[in-house]
Amino acid sequence: MPERDPLHDLGVRAGADGGVARVWSEHATSVDLVVFDGDDLDWALSRTPLVRDDHGVWQGESADLRPGAHYGLRVDGPAGVEHAFNPVHTLLDPYATGLARADDGSWRGVALESLTATGFEWGDSAKPRVPLDRTVVYEAHVRGFSKLNPAVPEALRGTYAGLAHDASLEYLTGLGVTTVELLPVYAFVSEERLVRQGKLNYWGYNTLAFFAAHAPYASVAAQAEGAAAVRREFAGMVKRLHEAGLEVVLDVVYNHTAEEGREGPTYSLRGIDNAAYYRHDAHGRYVDTTGCGNSLDIAREAPARLVLDSMRYFADELQVDGFRLDLAVTLGRDDHEAYSPEHPLLQAMLADPVIGASKLIAEPWDVGPDGWHTGGFPAGFTEWNDRYRDRMRDFWLGDLRRERQTGSAGSGIGRFATRLAGSSNTFSADRGPLASLNFVTAHDGFTLADLTAYDVKHNQGNGEGNRDGTDSNNSYNHGVEGEAADPAVRAARRRSIRNLLGTLLLSAGVPMLTAGDEFGRSQRGNNNAYCHDSSLTWLAWDPADRARFAPELLATTRRLIALRAENPALRPIRFGRPGEAVPSASQMDWYNADGETMEIDDWNSPAERTLQYLAASTPETEALNRILLVVHAHESRTDVVLPAHDGVTSYTLLWDSADEVPPTDDAAAPAATAPGTKVSVDGQSMRLYRAEGGR
């Protein structure tokens, strides 16, 4: 019989007759479990010394450890620069599934039964298991998404229940996205620096506890009822989204914690075993590869196990569908701080039957040495593709600026085409195009509308003298900084937004849309709005408010997502190989404006900014499909000869980025156009055709 894992069942197991606590600390000399009065979190009801085993696990039983009990840990240990033991501090159990805060600012765990034991029923709800090639990710903030929506009851706006409300679900399903990626929802606190400034951490990348949902995102009624009700509302949100066919992916921060640098607050891990949970150099100083003051030491078994157990809890107990791993390179660094795709934690995620069956999305960089590894994660991970983001912004915005200023765009169309077709220069053949999470914007940076309206960041409201936030935006204001009254400037901006949306949603890979970009949301040039919990960051829902932006973009976004779903040639699973029929790959042929096969000079010349991309699916689970995407990136109109290709008898126009509003479903079908026909294409525009005919 295999030996039982020595780190099994960490945390507390509470029952009607009391429970057991298990805590790991390698260097502690004593660990006490303290149970507090639920109405007075400073009043200790009992104190139980825990006993250490040979593996650093401290265990003990307490008759007071019943469901709903509030508890903490007091830990003592040796002195030394790498240690931070203080038995006076009451510390939070790293495995606490519910939280409560005492008046002095310290935290208590709340012992919760399993969700099903409380009577919660998942019913017929099940994980949608959306295939990666059909996935369209929608990055959203729980609070910001519904806070201003008048169709959601006021008491539920900005909450888990608000995101699960019928009005929210109807909007999301009507938009056509498949997967809602939520900015951090693990319990978090604001950095002490922000608190001193009277600000807060709105985004949530400052994790306090890895097993508890953030209570302030629950409704006021659930918060008043307590930790069990907060968890129940979170689970209810997941259930409702699943019933609507929507997946829930969580943006999770395991690379660092809210304890910040050595002068930061001590909430949990620092006081339990600072030397074992965090990375240190030979002098006992923190090794910070996150830019947030500390880095979890994932090279050690117990911290890595903490991450795996947290992911398994949310994927199994709370049924979430996947995880976006913030600064994931930190999670793949060994005891010498070198990153490896073979890191035991990354491999354990893939091997775990629950976690490995989930969507795993890596942010493939951190701020440590050799921190950029886009394309360097193992098969089974999808990665945020920053090279896609930068190229597509530069192609539609930076090159337009250069052409206006110098008469030359400065680059050809080749690198754009490589990203459009799945970034095969970044991701290996065995991983394929679905390893690329394509994005043009994210929560961090300019919104899509602001990319077209601002040349520089405007972060003065953040209280840091406009020093925070990136200066590398690849944006273009089209000649006017900020809001513009000139109709020509406004129209050019909308055209650029449509081109960027079209590129994102028609590229091979997995697209991610940032909430609000579908209607042109602006943050008034702030590209680092992490500390603003206000209408600056909340989604606008009132038609009058949306009219300030570009509300007609919503119809364009819906149309593009629908076209992606209808045309498998746009979403290949594998990279093709010349001369072979690779199942679920797209055969790609490339033509110039004259309908002739692209030559070497066509790819690299800044003068050649017109491309025709003909993609044919290789049927495996869906019928044969062909599309033709015409890209024209000069401002002047041009004539394009639609290419002649074996098996193609006609082309039917499906979408044109020159149109402010796409045709409605009841519009008359456009006439088919024969191969070899010369068509006039507007400047700075894209067209998608369906290529009709047999093989």
- 93 burial (CB, 10 Å; 0-12 / 13-18 / 19+) is buried
Provide the 8-state DSSP code for 101. E
3-state helix, strand, coil in the chain (%, to 5): 25, 20, 55
CA atoms of 177 and 310, how far apart (whole Å): 27
* Residue in 363, 403, 450, 602 annotated catalytic: 363
326 assigned to active site: yes
**Rounded-to-integer distance, Cα 349 and Cα 395, Å:** 36
Q: Do the Cβ atoms of 345 and 298 come closer than 8 Å? A: yes
- For residue 553, the one-letter residue type is L
Active site residue: 82, 326, 394, 533, which one?
326
Question: At how many degrees (to 10) do helices 269-277 and 301-312 cross?
Answer: 120
Q: Which residues contact 417 (CB under 8 A, 6 or more apart)?
A: 590, 603, 611, 613
Using an 8 Å Cβ cutoff, are 332 and 308 in contact?
no
Classify strands 586-591 and 610-617 as parallel, antiparallel or unpaired: antiparallel
Taking Cα atoms as reference points, which of 574, 577, 637 lies closest to residue 610? 637
CA 409 to chain centre: 32
Query: Positive or negative CA dihedral for 640, 645, 650, 656?
Result: negative
* Residues comprising the chain, all counted: 695
CA-wise closest residue to 160 among 320, 357, 359, 355: 320
Which 3 state secondary structure label does DSSP give 23? strand
Output Rg (C-alpha) for the chain, integer angstroms: 27
Token output for 353: 């039957």
Q: For residues 325 and 253, what is the distance between their CA atoms, to the nearest angstrom?
A: 6
Residues contacting 131, CB < 8 A, separation 6+: none
Angle value at C-alpha 10, between 7 and 16, nearest 5 degrees:
140
Q: DSSP letter string over 162-228? A: HHTSHHHHHHHHHHT--EEEES--B-B---HHHHHTT---SS--SBS-SSSB-GGGS-HHHHHH-HH
Catalytic site residue 363?
yes
Q: Mind telling me the catalytic residues?
A: 326, 363
